[in-house]
Structure 1
Amino acid sequence: MDGIYDQKRIVSVHQMLFDMASGNFNTRIPQSTQDDELETIVVLINMVAEEMKDSLSDFINTHRNPEFIAPTTLVVDAHYFITNFNSELLLFLGYSEIELLDQPLATILTPASLEQIQDLFESSVSVPTILSIDFINKAQLPFIISCNVGRMLPRSEIIFTFAIPKNSDFYNPLFDETRHKKQIKSRKVDAFLIQQLYDYILAHLDSPLPSIQLLARKFGTNEYKLKVGFRHFFKTSIYKFYNQERLKKAYFMIEHTTKSLKNISVMVGFTTYSNFSKSFKKHYGFSPFEVQRNQASITTSTVNLTGL
Structure 2
Amino acid sequence: MDTNLHHRMQVINTMLLEMASGNFFYRIERNSENDDIEALILTLNMLAEEIQDTIVHQGYVNTDQTNLDIVQMSFILDEKGIVQMVNQLACNILSCLYDDIIGNDFENFLTEESTIKWSATWKQLIKKEIFDTSIGLYFKSKGNLIIPKIAYISTFHDFTINEKRILITVIHHSNFRNQLDADLKQRVIKDDKLTSERKEKSNKPKIRLSFEDIRKIREGHDIIINNLESDFPSLKDFALQIGTNEFKLKYGFKELYGTTVHRFLMQERLRKAQMLIQYSDVPLKSIAYMVGFKSMPHFSRSFKKRYGYTPSALRKNSISSEKDS
- Fold in common (TM above 0.5): no
- Greater relative contact order (Cα < 8 A, sep 6+): 2
Q: TM-score, normalized by length of structure 2?
A: 0.36
Q: TM-score, normalized by length of structure 1?
A: 0.38
Decide which structure has the larger Cα Rg and report it.
1
